[in-house]
Amino acid sequence: MILLLTGCINPAGMSYTSLNNPKERKKQYVDAINFYLSQTNYPIVFSENSGTDITTLFPEAISSGRLECLTFTGNQNKERGKGYGECEIIQYALDNSQIIKKRKDHRIAKITGRLIIKNIKRIICLHSLLFPKQTTICAINSDLTFPDSRFIIAPKQFYLTFLNYKDNINDSKGYYFEHALCDTIKQETKYSFTPFLIMPQIEGISGSTGEVYKSKKADYIFLLRYLKYTWTLRKNFYKNYR
């Protein structure tokens, strides 16, 4: 498994973005990277599109090959919105990351880089045991129309296929990153799909709305209901799209 953390430290007026302070955003990215370095043993790729270099903050992790920090100047199509920019970040990582190139057969867990998935190890271990490598894993709403793009687990080839939909993304026209992701999941039948069987415990702040995400400890009744919900989603997905 490879963790791909997507980032934009300085959005510089990107539309549909409420959290614009570069210093605040940088701290959140650094905190998230430190969490994944200390709480997991997965290789990490941080890909960032505002030309902000943070390599000096992680000399040991980078020199050991555990962490790779990539940066480039993107967001040249601001009118398309941050979803299009996110695609450019993923594309840049797939094209330039030595970690990803060396581990061609590994799954990639794409995470919005300022967010912390508190139970990420449990999620990855369980789903790696239960589902084949060609499975795409992410949360999705009950009518199977809008997936949660904050956290996705999929093989590298799935992301390459997804990027074929990139030029359709335009926030101002109502076609978002999530719509492209949903279309890829439904239409590309060579990939199997499952929602997370364990609910991701996400902490951080939404860059779009400023909403604060806080993970909550769930009781057993809630966990059983959630598991039943996810299996119903799987059943409906395979009934309608496979």
Highest mean pLDDT among 7-11, 17-21, 104-108: 7-11
Q: What are phi and psi of 195, to 5 degrees?
A: -75, 165
Residues 175 and 168 sit within 8 Å (Cβ to Cβ): yes
Evaluate if residue 66 carries a pLDDT over 80: yes
Q: List strands edge to edge, sheet with 116-117.
A: 116-117, 202-205, 212-213
Evaluate if residue 83 carries a pLDDT over 80: yes
Residue 44's SS3 state is: strand
Q: How far apart are CA 90 and CA 93, in angstroms?
A: 5
pLDDT tens by residue, 233-242 = 999 999 999 8
Q: Report the relative pairing of strands 2-7 and 44-48 from DSSP bridges.
A: parallel
pTM of the model: 0.92
Q: What is the pLDDT of residue 11?
A: 84
Question: CATH 3.90.550.10: does it fit domain 2-241?
Answer: yes
Per-domain boundaries in the chain: 2-241
Query: Confidence class of residue 45 from pLDDT cuts 50, 70 and 90?
Result: very high
Q: Report the relative pairing of strands 135-137 and 192-194 from DSSP bridges.
A: parallel
**Helix H or strand E encompassing 194:** strand 192-194
pLDDT tens by residue, 141-181 = 999 999 999 999 999 999 999 999 999 999 888 999 999 99
